[in-house]
Structure 1
Amino acid sequence: MTRILDQYTDLLDRLDRLDWLVPTLARLSFLAVLFFYFWNSAMLKIDGSIFSPSSGAFGQIFPQAAEAVLWDVTQMNFFQRIVILAGTIAEFVLPLLIVFGLLTRLAAAGMIGFIIVQTLVDVTGHGVALGGLFDSAQGLIDQRVMWILLFVVLVFKGAGPLSVDALFRKPSRD
């Protein structure tokens, strides 16, 4: 029995030495699963340039206001334009930072905030049902909690050794 326990603890020690793999796989998973979702969503928000919001952006972020003016972007007020511009820039920049592993913890925290705001807009503006955790049905909240968990890993673990962040890290003195 002692031999089995020794083998088990030896295996755990080896796995602990692979700790660098967790943030690296989190970034690769983001690239494979969510990067193009956010990139395509950002592309829908621009009309020629990032400073020219589309009616799609107006409708995605302020659905009731867009509907009230029949999707006419010239009717957007200053606040709405600033929110759309900031959201669009974030939707382009934050995913790129995560993929390259540059300012990863900050970018991941920004993505968590972005997903929370996105979810609030989906629920309050678009009437999407949240669903509930632990109810055996895959709802919006279940999906977004998984997304946030991926970013929480990056906030706590950083980008890993295969990143731009790693290039700027000071070597540790052991």
Structure 2
Amino acid sequence: MIALYDRTAHALNASAGVILPTLARFVFAATLLFYFWNSAGTKWDGTPFTPGVGGYAQIFPKAMEAVGYDTSQMSIFHWAVVVGGTLAEYILPLLIVIGLFTRLASLAMIGFVVVQSLTDLYGHGGIEYAETLGAWFDNLSNGAILDQRAFWVLLLVTLVLKGAGPLSVDRILNRSRSS
């Protein structure tokens, strides 16, 4: 029985480099790709280079409130952050799904999720509501920040550590460089 367990464990370990990154990219595509793309779509008026009220209000909620939601009073810094964040919400998920520069894109998405979470908690006041923050080691799994986003980051860390897997543009590029 122990020998069978050991053989099975060895086979699973050997296949992890193929299965884990491929599955992680599939789960990302199935659960988060359109979440981020839809979120990006709410931030602009016409093109990603012309942020709308929604973009500024989502990323700089307190600053927008202070100027009465008049986007003309926002600085070039605010514009650059909103445009950069909007483009990141389109480009980084796409890179992950197709498996191009996957480790770097996943690392950047981790940073994005951290900034997004801090903005949700402190910019939008989510920290004032225990159900928004959530808590680890409780009997609930629905805390929007600590619970859900911990899973997002775990998925992304898998891609940072394992790469994109065999079905990816990274693999094709790696083969062409090796030839």
Query: TM class, shorter-chain normalised?
Result: over 0.9
Distance in 1 (alpha carbons) for counterparts of 2:139 and 2:157: 23
The residue identity in structure 1 corresponding to 2:14 is R
Distance in 1 (alpha carbons) for counterparts of 2:138 and 2:84: 35
TM alignment of 1:15-94, pairs within 5 A: 15-19=12-16, 20-94=18-92
The residue identity in structure 2 corresponding to 1:49 is T
Count of paired positions: 169
Distance in 2 (alpha carbons) for counterparts of 1:15 and 1:85: 43
The alignment's TM-score, normalised by the length of structure 2, stands at 0.90
Distance in 2 (alpha carbons) for counterparts of 1:127 and 1:115: 17
CA displacement at 1:170 relative to structure 2 = 4.3
Identity rate of aligned residues, in percent?
Answer: 51
Distance in 2 (alpha carbons) for counterparts of 1:141 and 1:60: 20
Distance in 1 (alpha carbons) for counterparts of 2:155 and 2:121: 22
TM alignment of 1:23-172, pairs within 5 A: 23-129=21-127, 130-137=133-140, 138-139=142-143, 140-170=145-175
Distance in 1 (alpha carbons) for counterparts of 2:166 and 2:87: 27
Q: Please, which runs of 5 or more residues in structure 1 have no aligned partner?
A: none
Which has a greater percent of helix? 2
The residue identity in structure 2 corresponding to 1:117 is V
CA displacement at 1:69 relative to structure 2 = 1.9
The alignment's TM-score, normalised by the length of structure 1, stands at 0.93
- Coordinate RMSD, CA, aligned: 1.4
3-state SS of 2:15 partner: coil
